[in-house]
Amino acid sequence: MIKKFLIFLLLFFSYANATSWYSKGCINEALKSFDVEENIDDMPYLEKMLESYKSSMKTHLDRHEEIREDFEYVKNELQKNNLPVSIAYVCFAESNFQRKARGYNTAGIWQLTNSSARILGLEVSRKVDERVDVKKSTQAVIKLWKRLLKKYDKLYLADFAYGIGEGGLDRMIESRDSRSFAKLWKSGRIKYGTKAHFTKVILLHCAFSAKN
C-alpha cells in the first residue's frame, strides 16, 4: 500500500514539475502573439484541449538542447525577414524538429507536401528531397509565411491556412462570414488535427517562454 502511495506521489510531482510553466496568463500572452483577440477564460473548448496536451510538451522541451542549432537558425531567419519568431514553434508541432521526419506525403521539419515544396522552389525527386534540408526548406517556407500573413493579416489565420490550405480557410471564412478565432474554431469545419496543431503551438510558445 505504501509502495503504491509513493509511486503515486512520484508520478504526481513529476507531472506537476513538467507543467509548472503552465498558467492562464502565459496562455493569453501566447494567444496574443498569434493575434487572437479572445481571452482563454472565454474559450473553455480551447482550454480543454490545452489541458489535455500540456503534459506532452516535455517531449519537445527535452529535445531543445539536441536541436538548438536548427531552432536558433529558424528563429534568426524569421527575425531577419520581419516574421514572428512564434512561427518557429510550428516545427515542433509538425515534426518535433526532426530533419528527416516523414508523414503522409510530407517531410522535413516543416512537413511540406511534395506539391507545396515544388511550388516553393524545392527539389523533390527520388534522388533529392530538399524538404529535409533545414536551411533550404526554411528559406522556402519563409516565402509562404510572408504571403499568408500579407493575405490574412492575422497569425492565427496564417497558421490555419498553413494546415488546411488557403482554399479551405477561405471557404470557412466565407461560410461563417467572420474571421473571428472563436467563431471559426467552433464552426465544426476545422479538423481535429488542425486544432491539435494550433493547441501545441500555443503551449510550446508558453513553455519555451517560461524556459527562457
Q: Are 156 and 87 in contact (CB under 8 A)?
A: no
Helix, coil or strand: residue 37 = coil
**Residues 6 or more apart whose Cβ sits within 8 Å of residue 111:** 94, 95, 101, 103
Cell 527562457 belongs to: 212
Residue in 38, 51, 77, 94 annotated catalytic: 94
Q: What is the DSSP letter of 54?
A: G
As a whole number of angstroms, the distance between CA 209 and CA 34 comes to 14
Identify residue 63 by its one-letter amino acid code.
R
How far is residue 101 from each of residues 91, 97, 120, measured CA to CA in Å?
11, 8, 19
Return the C-alpha torsion angle 153, 156, 157, 159, nearest 10. 110
Residue 38 is a catalytic residue: no
Cα dist. 13→17, 19, 20, 133 in Å?
Answer: 6, 10, 10, 39
Catalytic residue numbers read 94
